[in-house]
Structure 1
Amino acid sequence: MSMQIASTAAVMPILPREPDIFPEDLLETSEAAEKPWWVIYTLARREKAFFRKLREMGIRHYCPLVPHRVKLGDGRIRTSWNPLFAGYVFLQGDDADRQKALTTNCVSRCLVVLDSEQLVQDLRRIRQAVESGLPVTPQEKLEPGKPVRIRSGPLAGLEGVIVNRRGKHHLIVMVSFIQKGASVELDVVDVEPL
Protein backbone atom coordinates (compact mmCIF):
# COMPACT_ATOMS: atom_id res chain seq x y z
CA MET A 1 0.00 0.00 0.00
CA SER A 2 1.59 3.25 -1.06
CA MET A 3 0.83 6.44 0.70
CA GLN A 4 1.17 9.90 -0.78
CA ILE A 5 2.06 12.70 1.54
CA ALA A 6 0.96 16.17 0.62
CA SER A 7 3.55 18.86 1.09
CA THR A 8 2.48 21.50 3.56
CA ALA A 9 5.45 23.77 2.98
CA ALA A 10 4.40 27.22 1.86
CA VAL A 11 5.82 28.24 -1.49
CA MET A 12 6.22 31.92 -2.17
CA PRO A 13 5.38 32.60 -5.80
CA ILE A 14 7.72 34.61 -7.99
CA LEU A 15 5.75 37.57 -9.26
CA PRO A 16 5.98 38.65 -12.89
CA ARG A 17 7.79 41.86 -13.73
CA GLU A 18 5.78 44.85 -12.62
CA PRO A 19 6.00 48.44 -13.84
CA ASP A 20 9.02 50.19 -12.34
CA ILE A 21 7.97 53.65 -13.49
CA PHE A 22 4.79 55.66 -12.99
CA PRO A 23 3.46 57.09 -15.21
CA GLU A 24 5.01 55.22 -18.13
CA ASP A 25 6.06 58.47 -19.84
CA LEU A 26 7.50 60.06 -16.68
CA LEU A 27 10.98 60.65 -18.13
CA GLU A 28 9.77 61.55 -21.62
CA THR A 29 7.54 64.53 -20.88
CA SER A 30 8.69 68.13 -21.16
CA GLU A 31 7.86 68.71 -17.50
CA ALA A 32 10.11 65.83 -16.36
CA ALA A 33 12.84 68.24 -15.24
CA GLU A 34 10.53 71.12 -14.29
CA LYS A 35 8.95 69.62 -11.18
CA PRO A 36 11.03 68.83 -8.07
CA TRP A 37 12.68 65.42 -7.70
CA TRP A 38 13.51 63.56 -4.50
CA VAL A 39 15.78 60.60 -3.92
CA ILE A 40 14.14 58.35 -1.37
CA TYR A 41 16.32 55.92 0.55
CA THR A 42 14.00 53.14 1.69
CA LEU A 43 14.15 50.82 4.64
CA ALA A 44 15.94 47.56 3.82
CA ARG A 45 14.27 45.55 1.04
CA ARG A 46 11.20 47.82 0.93
CA GLU A 47 11.67 49.39 -2.51
CA LYS A 48 8.87 47.44 -4.23
CA ALA A 49 6.42 47.86 -1.36
CA PHE A 50 7.22 51.58 -1.43
CA PHE A 51 6.72 52.11 -5.15
CA ARG A 52 3.51 50.04 -5.10
CA LYS A 53 2.15 52.42 -2.45
CA LEU A 54 3.32 55.43 -4.48
CA ARG A 55 1.51 54.08 -7.54
CA GLU A 56 -1.69 53.61 -5.49
CA MET A 57 -1.39 57.24 -4.33
CA GLY A 58 -0.74 58.45 -7.89
CA ILE A 59 2.74 59.79 -7.06
CA ARG A 60 5.25 59.87 -9.91
CA HIS A 61 8.31 57.65 -9.40
CA TYR A 62 11.01 55.48 -10.97
CA CYS A 63 12.84 52.49 -9.50
CA PRO A 64 14.77 50.66 -12.25
CA LEU A 65 14.33 46.89 -11.99
CA VAL A 66 16.71 44.33 -13.51
CA PRO A 67 16.35 40.55 -13.84
CA HIS A 68 18.15 38.31 -11.35
CA ARG A 69 18.35 34.71 -12.54
CA VAL A 70 19.03 31.78 -10.22
CA LYS A 71 19.43 28.18 -11.36
CA LEU A 72 17.43 25.85 -9.13
CA GLY A 73 18.57 22.38 -8.11
CA ASP A 74 16.25 20.72 -10.62
CA GLY A 75 17.76 22.72 -13.50
CA ARG A 76 14.99 25.29 -13.82
CA ILE A 77 15.89 28.95 -13.85
CA ARG A 78 13.98 31.34 -11.61
CA THR A 79 13.91 35.01 -12.58
CA SER A 80 13.09 37.70 -10.08
CA TRP A 81 13.12 41.44 -10.69
CA ASN A 82 15.29 43.40 -8.27
CA PRO A 83 16.02 47.12 -7.93
CA LEU A 84 19.15 48.16 -9.84
CA PHE A 85 20.05 50.55 -7.01
CA ALA A 86 19.18 48.75 -3.78
CA GLY A 87 17.38 51.06 -1.38
CA TYR A 88 16.77 53.93 -3.82
CA VAL A 89 13.53 55.14 -5.42
CA PHE A 90 13.34 58.37 -7.42
CA LEU A 91 10.21 60.41 -6.74
CA GLN A 92 8.92 63.43 -8.64
CA GLY A 93 6.48 65.73 -6.94
CA ASP A 94 5.96 68.66 -4.66
CA ASP A 95 6.41 68.75 -0.89
CA ALA A 96 2.87 67.41 -0.39
CA ASP A 97 3.79 64.30 -2.44
CA ARG A 98 6.94 63.88 -0.36
CA GLN A 99 4.89 64.13 2.84
CA LYS A 100 2.49 61.45 1.54
CA ALA A 101 5.46 59.23 0.70
CA LEU A 102 6.73 59.56 4.26
CA THR A 103 3.44 58.06 5.56
CA THR A 104 4.15 54.69 3.88
CA ASN A 105 6.45 53.44 6.67
CA CYS A 106 8.99 52.49 3.99
CA VAL A 107 11.23 55.59 4.03
CA SER A 108 14.55 55.88 5.81
CA ARG A 109 15.76 59.19 4.32
CA CYS A 110 14.62 61.72 1.77
CA LEU A 111 16.98 63.96 -0.21
CA VAL A 112 15.95 66.84 -2.45
CA VAL A 113 17.59 66.91 -5.89
CA LEU A 114 19.02 70.33 -6.67
CA ASP A 115 19.74 69.67 -10.37
CA SER A 116 16.56 68.01 -11.66
CA GLU A 117 17.63 68.36 -15.28
CA GLN A 118 20.84 66.37 -14.70
CA LEU A 119 18.98 63.68 -12.74
CA VAL A 120 16.38 63.27 -15.50
CA GLN A 121 19.15 62.91 -18.11
CA ASP A 122 20.87 60.29 -15.94
CA LEU A 123 17.62 58.38 -15.37
CA ARG A 124 16.82 58.43 -19.10
CA ARG A 125 20.20 56.82 -19.83
CA ILE A 126 19.69 54.24 -17.08
CA ARG A 127 16.23 53.40 -18.46
CA GLN A 128 17.61 53.03 -21.98
CA ALA A 129 20.28 50.62 -20.71
CA VAL A 130 17.75 48.57 -18.70
CA GLU A 131 15.25 48.41 -21.60
CA SER A 132 17.97 47.33 -24.09
CA GLY A 133 17.75 43.74 -22.88
CA LEU A 134 21.52 43.56 -22.34
CA PRO A 135 22.77 42.46 -18.90
CA VAL A 136 22.89 45.48 -16.57
CA THR A 137 24.56 45.30 -13.18
CA PRO A 138 24.87 47.87 -10.40
CA GLN A 139 28.18 49.66 -10.33
CA GLU A 140 29.13 50.77 -6.83
CA LYS A 141 32.49 52.38 -7.48
CA LEU A 142 32.84 54.28 -10.72
CA GLU A 143 36.19 54.04 -12.44
CA PRO A 144 37.67 57.04 -14.25
CA GLY A 145 37.53 57.03 -18.04
CA LYS A 146 36.64 59.07 -21.07
CA PRO A 147 33.01 59.89 -21.83
CA VAL A 148 31.68 58.26 -25.01
CA ARG A 149 28.49 57.84 -27.05
CA ILE A 150 27.43 54.53 -28.62
CA ARG A 151 26.85 54.88 -32.38
CA SER A 152 24.85 51.72 -33.22
CA GLY A 153 22.86 48.83 -31.79
CA PRO A 154 20.16 48.81 -29.11
CA LEU A 155 22.07 51.40 -27.07
CA ALA A 156 22.68 53.84 -29.94
CA GLY A 157 22.93 57.39 -28.61
CA LEU A 158 23.55 56.30 -25.01
CA GLU A 159 26.36 58.23 -23.33
CA GLY A 160 28.59 56.93 -20.59
CA VAL A 161 32.14 55.89 -19.77
CA ILE A 162 33.78 52.81 -21.29
CA VAL A 163 35.91 50.62 -19.06
CA ASN A 164 37.61 47.31 -19.74
CA ARG A 165 37.02 44.55 -17.21
CA ARG A 166 38.37 41.03 -17.51
CA GLY A 167 38.93 41.56 -21.22
CA LYS A 168 35.36 42.70 -21.90
CA HIS A 169 34.13 46.20 -22.61
CA HIS A 170 31.55 47.71 -20.28
CA LEU A 171 29.65 50.98 -20.54
CA ILE A 172 29.16 52.76 -17.23
CA VAL A 173 26.00 54.86 -16.99
CA MET A 174 26.07 57.10 -13.93
CA VAL A 175 23.44 58.75 -11.73
CA SER A 176 25.50 61.68 -10.47
CA PHE A 177 23.26 62.61 -7.56
CA ILE A 178 23.65 59.31 -5.70
CA GLN A 179 27.18 58.64 -6.99
CA LYS A 180 26.24 55.21 -8.30
CA GLY A 181 26.02 53.76 -11.75
CA ALA A 182 25.10 50.77 -13.84
CA SER A 183 27.41 48.67 -15.98
CA VAL A 184 26.26 47.23 -19.32
CA GLU A 185 28.45 44.60 -20.97
CA LEU A 186 29.02 45.26 -24.65
CA ASP A 187 30.03 42.59 -27.17
CA VAL A 188 31.07 44.99 -29.90
CA VAL A 189 31.89 48.52 -28.91
CA ASP A 190 31.08 51.07 -31.59
CA VAL A 191 31.63 54.33 -29.78
CA GLU A 192 32.67 57.89 -30.48
CA PRO A 193 34.37 60.21 -28.01
CA LEU A 194 32.37 63.17 -26.67
Structure 2
Amino acid sequence: MERALDWFALRVKPRTERVVADALAGKGYEQFLPLHKERKRWSDRVKMVETPLFAGYVFCRFDVQQRLPILTTPGVMHVVGIGQTPYPIDEAEIASLRVVADSGLQMESWPYLHVGQRIQIVSGPLTGASGILQSVKSRDRLVVSISLLQRSVAVEVPEHCAWPASA
Protein backbone atom coordinates (compact mmCIF):
# COMPACT_ATOMS: atom_id res chain seq x y z
CA MET A 1 0.00 0.00 0.00
CA GLU A 2 1.35 3.42 -1.00
CA ARG A 3 1.77 6.03 1.73
CA ALA A 4 0.01 9.37 1.26
CA LEU A 5 2.37 12.23 0.45
CA ASP A 6 2.77 15.05 2.96
CA TRP A 7 2.09 18.74 2.39
CA PHE A 8 5.02 21.13 2.71
CA ALA A 9 5.31 24.91 2.61
CA LEU A 10 7.74 26.26 0.04
CA ARG A 11 9.38 29.64 0.60
CA VAL A 12 9.43 31.38 -2.76
CA LYS A 13 10.90 34.61 -4.09
CA PRO A 14 8.68 37.67 -3.57
CA ARG A 15 5.83 38.03 -6.07
CA THR A 16 6.56 34.68 -7.78
CA GLU A 17 3.89 32.64 -5.99
CA ARG A 18 1.65 32.17 -9.07
CA VAL A 19 4.56 31.37 -11.39
CA VAL A 20 5.89 28.78 -8.93
CA ALA A 21 2.43 27.23 -8.41
CA ASP A 22 1.92 26.96 -12.19
CA ALA A 23 5.39 25.44 -12.67
CA LEU A 24 4.76 22.84 -9.95
CA ALA A 25 1.40 21.94 -11.49
CA GLY A 26 3.14 21.64 -14.86
CA LYS A 27 5.56 19.14 -13.29
CA GLY A 28 2.56 17.11 -12.05
CA TYR A 29 2.68 18.09 -8.38
CA GLU A 30 -0.39 18.88 -6.33
CA GLN A 31 0.01 22.49 -5.23
CA PHE A 32 -2.16 24.95 -3.34
CA LEU A 33 -1.91 28.73 -3.53
CA PRO A 34 -4.72 30.31 -1.49
CA LEU A 35 -5.70 33.73 -2.88
CA HIS A 36 -7.89 36.51 -1.53
CA LYS A 37 -9.27 39.74 -2.91
CA GLU A 38 -7.64 42.88 -1.62
CA ARG A 39 -8.34 46.53 -2.31
CA LYS A 40 -5.27 48.19 -3.87
CA ARG A 41 -5.02 51.94 -4.18
CA TRP A 42 -3.05 53.69 -6.89
CA SER A 43 -2.77 57.45 -7.31
CA ASP A 44 -5.54 57.51 -9.92
CA ARG A 45 -7.79 54.55 -8.98
CA VAL A 46 -8.79 51.84 -6.51
CA LYS A 47 -9.11 48.25 -7.68
CA MET A 48 -9.83 44.82 -6.17
CA VAL A 49 -6.99 42.41 -6.98
CA GLU A 50 -6.35 38.78 -6.10
CA THR A 51 -3.21 38.35 -4.02
CA PRO A 52 -1.66 35.36 -2.25
CA LEU A 53 -3.02 34.91 1.25
CA PHE A 54 0.46 33.99 2.51
CA ALA A 55 2.90 36.17 0.56
CA GLY A 56 6.10 34.30 -0.20
CA TYR A 57 4.68 30.79 0.28
CA VAL A 58 3.21 28.04 -1.89
CA PHE A 59 1.98 24.71 -0.51
CA CYS A 60 2.92 21.50 -2.30
CA ARG A 61 2.39 17.77 -1.72
CA PHE A 62 5.44 15.65 -2.47
CA ASP A 63 7.81 12.94 -1.24
CA VAL A 64 10.39 14.74 0.89
CA GLN A 65 13.02 12.14 -0.14
CA GLN A 66 12.49 13.18 -3.80
CA ARG A 67 12.54 16.98 -3.36
CA LEU A 68 15.19 17.95 -5.93
CA PRO A 69 12.61 18.64 -8.71
CA ILE A 70 10.82 20.94 -6.27
CA LEU A 71 13.97 22.80 -5.25
CA THR A 72 15.06 23.30 -8.88
CA THR A 73 11.75 24.96 -9.78
CA PRO A 74 12.46 28.62 -10.65
CA GLY A 75 11.44 30.87 -7.76
CA VAL A 76 11.61 28.21 -5.02
CA MET A 77 14.08 29.19 -2.30
CA HIS A 78 13.65 26.28 0.14
CA VAL A 79 11.25 23.89 1.84
CA VAL A 80 10.14 25.31 5.18
CA GLY A 81 11.19 23.21 8.14
CA ILE A 82 12.92 23.11 11.45
CA GLY A 83 16.58 23.90 10.93
CA GLN A 84 17.62 22.21 7.68
CA THR A 85 14.97 19.49 7.99
CA PRO A 86 11.76 19.97 5.97
CA TYR A 87 8.72 19.64 8.21
CA PRO A 88 5.28 18.58 6.90
CA ILE A 89 2.11 20.58 7.43
CA ASP A 90 -0.82 18.87 9.13
CA GLU A 91 -3.33 17.60 6.54
CA ALA A 92 -6.22 18.99 8.63
CA GLU A 93 -4.72 22.51 8.52
CA ILE A 94 -4.50 22.41 4.70
CA ALA A 95 -8.04 20.96 4.48
CA SER A 96 -9.44 23.75 6.69
CA LEU A 97 -7.54 26.39 4.72
CA ARG A 98 -9.01 24.97 1.47
CA VAL A 99 -12.55 25.15 2.90
CA VAL A 100 -12.02 28.80 3.87
CA ALA A 101 -10.38 29.71 0.53
CA ASP A 102 -13.14 27.97 -1.48
CA SER A 103 -16.00 29.51 0.55
CA GLY A 104 -16.01 32.80 -1.35
CA LEU A 105 -16.31 34.68 1.95
CA GLN A 106 -14.22 37.76 2.63
CA MET A 107 -11.00 36.80 4.43
CA GLU A 108 -7.88 38.55 5.57
CA SER A 109 -4.43 37.70 6.87
CA TRP A 110 -4.43 37.45 10.64
CA PRO A 111 -1.73 37.43 13.30
CA TYR A 112 -0.79 33.92 14.41
CA LEU A 113 -2.53 33.00 17.67
CA HIS A 114 -1.04 30.78 20.33
CA VAL A 115 -4.04 30.67 22.63
CA GLY A 116 -7.82 30.54 22.24
CA GLN A 117 -10.64 28.08 22.00
CA ARG A 118 -10.57 25.60 19.11
CA ILE A 119 -13.86 25.45 17.25
CA GLN A 120 -15.45 23.40 14.49
CA ILE A 121 -17.87 24.94 12.00
CA VAL A 122 -21.02 22.80 11.89
CA SER A 123 -23.21 24.64 9.38
CA GLY A 124 -23.02 27.11 6.50
CA PRO A 125 -20.42 27.40 3.73
CA LEU A 126 -17.51 26.70 6.11
CA THR A 127 -18.87 23.36 7.41
CA GLY A 128 -15.99 21.08 8.34
CA ALA A 129 -13.39 23.81 8.92
CA SER A 130 -11.84 24.05 12.34
CA GLY A 131 -9.67 26.65 13.96
CA ILE A 132 -9.62 29.18 16.78
CA LEU A 133 -12.53 31.43 17.62
CA GLN A 134 -11.68 35.10 18.07
CA SER A 135 -13.92 38.07 18.64
CA VAL A 136 -12.92 41.32 16.96
CA LYS A 137 -15.07 44.44 17.17
CA SER A 138 -18.01 42.33 18.45
CA ARG A 139 -17.83 40.00 15.44
CA ASP A 140 -16.89 36.33 15.64
CA ARG A 141 -14.12 35.10 13.38
CA LEU A 142 -12.75 31.65 12.66
CA VAL A 143 -8.97 31.79 12.59
CA VAL A 144 -7.33 28.95 10.63
CA SER A 145 -3.62 28.63 11.29
CA ILE A 146 -0.66 27.00 9.57
CA SER A 147 1.48 26.26 12.62
CA LEU A 148 4.76 25.73 10.78
CA LEU A 149 4.59 29.16 9.11
CA GLN A 150 3.11 30.85 12.19
CA ARG A 151 0.59 32.49 9.88
CA SER A 152 -3.18 32.61 10.13
CA VAL A 153 -6.25 33.61 8.17
CA ALA A 154 -9.49 34.96 9.64
CA VAL A 155 -13.01 34.73 8.23
CA GLU A 156 -16.18 36.07 9.82
CA VAL A 157 -18.61 33.36 10.97
CA PRO A 158 -22.11 33.56 12.39
CA GLU A 159 -22.13 32.55 16.07
CA HIS A 160 -24.66 29.75 15.49
CA CYS A 161 -22.33 27.95 13.02
CA ALA A 162 -19.51 27.37 15.53
CA TRP A 163 -19.26 24.52 18.02
CA PRO A 164 -16.44 23.61 20.40
CA ALA A 165 -14.10 21.17 18.65
CA SER A 166 -13.79 17.71 20.11
CA ALA A 167 -10.36 16.89 21.49
- Measured against the shorter chain, the TM-score band is 0.7 to 0.9
**Deviation of the 1:72 alpha carbon:** 7.0
CA 1:95–1:154: 2 relative to 1, 3 Å: closer
**Deviation of the 1:144 alpha carbon:** 2.0
In the alignment, is the contact (CA less than 8 A) between 1:39 and 1:91 conserved in 2?
yes
**Deviation of the 1:84 alpha carbon:** 0.8
Aligned to 1:20: none
Aligned to 1:122: 93
Distance (whole Å) between structure 2 residues aligned to residue 143 and residue 35 of structure 1: 27
The letter for the 2-side match of 1:61 is Q
Q: Map 1:62-101 to 2 at 5 A.
A: 62-70=32-40, 78-95=47-64, 98-101=67-70
Query: With CA pairs under 8 Å and 6+ residues apart, which has the higher RCO, 1 or 2?
Result: 2
Q: For residue 105 of structure 2, give the secondary structure of its aligned residue in structure 1.
A: coil
The letter for the 2-side match of 1:81 is E
Aligned to 1:12: none
1:56 aligns with 2:26: yes
Distance (whole Å) between structure 1 residues aligned to residue 59 and residue 32 of structure 2: 5
Distance (whole Å) between structure 1 residues aligned to residue 65 and residue 117 of structure 2: 40
The letter for the 2-side match of 1:58 is G
**Deviation of the 1:156 alpha carbon:** 2.1
Listed one character per residue, the Cα deviations across residues 45-94 of structure 1 (whole Å, up to 9, x for unaligned) are 1111111111222122111111223467887x633221111111111122
When structure 1 is superposed on structure 2, of 43-52 and 63-72 the one drifting more is 63-72
Q: For residue 54 of structure 1, give the secondary structure of its aligned residue in structure 2.
A: helix
Q: Identity over aligned residues, as a percent?
A: 28
TM-score (norm 2): 0.81
**Deviation of the 1:178 alpha carbon:** 1.7
Query: Which has more strand, going by share of residues?
Result: 2
TM-score (norm 1): 0.71
Q: For residue 67 of structure 2, give the secondary structure of its aligned residue in structure 1.
A: helix
Gaps of 5+ in 1: 1-30
Aligned to 1:46: 16
Rg (Cα) greater in structure? 1
Aligned to 1:192: 163
